[in-house]
Amino acid sequence: MDQGVEWLRWLASTSAYMRNAIRDMVVRGAPAIAIAAALSLAVEVFNLDFAGTSGDAASFLVKKLEYLVSSRPTAVNLSDASTKLQNIVSKTAKTATEAKTVFQAYIDAAETMLTDDVADNKAIGFHGASFLPCQLKDSGKLSVLTHCNTGSLATAGYGTALGVIRALHAGGSLETAFCTETRPFNQGSRLTAFELVHDEIPATLITDSAAAALMKAGRVNAVIVGADRIAANGDTANKIGTYSLAVSASYHGIPFYVAAPITSIDLSLSSGQQIVIEERSPKELLCSDGGLGKQVAASGIAVWNPAFDITPANLMTAIITEKGVITKATADAFDIKGFIQKAQGNDIE
């Protein structure tokens, strides 16, 4: 097929291509999913020959955003971005006389989300790199264990948990970073290891099952992970295996931190029990290369392959956000709503 025709077809249905890319984890990482989805629709409407009214344009965008949100249910950033963008286009449509005005308002908002995400990630890195050394004064340089990929390849840039590691390294406070391979899709070995090597950060790759032994050997000062959704009490949904790391860290007396933007927090959920956990294809376990290679497991074996697990707040030490660090209100929970209200008040002032 002529490449020009294929390009035009892609432009005409960019949101459909992006939905499939998110569903198939070509694009993954909660912040990156939200940004990529928003920008894909921005590209689509920028090139769209649209004959409807401003109200029609708003309806078109709302339907497309709802379609994109259906790609992956657990990560809250995508639904949060969708809600904000829907509010912007609906408000614009009330006063706009042309559809292109609504589309331009959407494009501007999506591009703002891109720049804001990078700034937020760098702020997360700053707060984390300031907080951890103060909490671990007797440790000297820190050896930090992380899980999955939470860096530039999972966000608009810099990263959340990996952003904290970057900031620790830049400040001379990092001894080494340990990253798990993160089975079955190997985001740690494929992506996090790549980012760490690229940035020349001292790092070591381990199997997921080696984490507890590494902690027992006294080689880990802190664990820091990202988040796909955080409930109001602090319970956190993140890549499968996070809960195991939290249990091991608690047993060995090692602090466990979650690094995520405020957009990953879902105050409508009182606890992690209400978070919907996505289940992935059995192929990711049955076949090599995260389901893309040849079959290695026995035919006929049943498979349970949840993409995420829930780490309860009582196993967590603190949540690092772009607005600062949320510490425990009680032994078992965080007052996240109070923290956000205070942060918003400070922004207004």
Helix spans in 137-272 (H): 161-170, 187, 193-198, 211-216, 242-251
| C-alpha dist (Å) from residue 229 to 1, 39, 74, 213, 260 | 42, 21, 7, 28, 9
**Could you give the dihedral angle defined by the CA atoms of residues 134, 136, 137 and 140, in that order, rounded to the nearest 10 degrees?**
-120
CB 31 within 8 A of CB 263: yes
Distance of alpha carbon 137 from alpha carbon 142, whole angstroms: 10
Tally of CB atoms within 10 A around 50 = 14
Q: Give the DSSP per-residue string, 206-221.
A: E-GGGHHHHHHTT--S
Place of tokens 């998110």: 22
Please enumerate in sequence order all residues whose Cβ is within 8 A of that of 2, keeping only pairs 6 or more positions apart, or say none: none
The SS3 of residue 287 is: strand
Distance of alpha carbon 185 from alpha carbon 181, whole angstroms: 9
304, amino acid identity: W
Catalytic entry in 117, 228, 266, 309: 228
**If we measure between CA atoms, which residue out of 255, 195, 193, 247 comes closest to residue 220?**
255
Distance of alpha carbon 340 from alpha carbon 262, whole angstroms: 8
Please tell me whether the peptide bond between 184 and the residue prior to it is cis, using omega within 30 degrees of 0.
yes
Query: Is 289 annotated as catalytic?
Result: no
Pairing of strands 236-239, 308-311: antiparallel
Tally of CB atoms within 10 A around 204 = 14
Q: Which active-site residues does the annotation give? A: 228
